[in-house]
Amino acid sequence: MRKNDLKKRWEIFNHSDEIFRKTEGFKKSPFGLTTQGLVDFRGISLSSTPLVMGGGWENSTHETDIFDVDFSGGVGPDLT
């Protein structure tokens, strides 16, 4: 799958908080597993969300354990 197609499929989510809830803290993906058996987060963008008024960015933090996942083709996640 092309990088743009991977990104486009995540457009159904409006905010990283919604992604976190729907994926149960990055434990499952709405797109299943990759052919390598990894949880499919390819193309996801976890960048900050722009504020509606006043400029700047809203940053959300989430605590989770992540293993056996594929974030290739994604944009800007801070996984510290």
Report which of residues 26 and 65 the model is more confident about. 26
State pTM to two decimals.
Answer: 0.65
User: What is the distance between the alpha carbons of residues 39 and 35, in angstroms, rounded to a whole number?
Assistant: 10
State mean pLDDT over 1-6.
84
Q: 40 with 10: CB under 8 angstroms?
A: no
49: part of which helix (H) or strand (E)? strand 49-50
User: What is the distance between the alpha carbons of residues 26 and 39, in angstroms, rounded to a whole number?
Assistant: 8
* Percent of residues, the chain, with pLDDT higher than 70: 66
- Least Cα distance to 18 among 49, 50, 54 occurs for 49
pLDDT above 70 for 43: yes
Query: 53-69 pLDDT, tens per residue?
Result: 665 556 666 666 777 88
Place of tokens 């960048």: 47
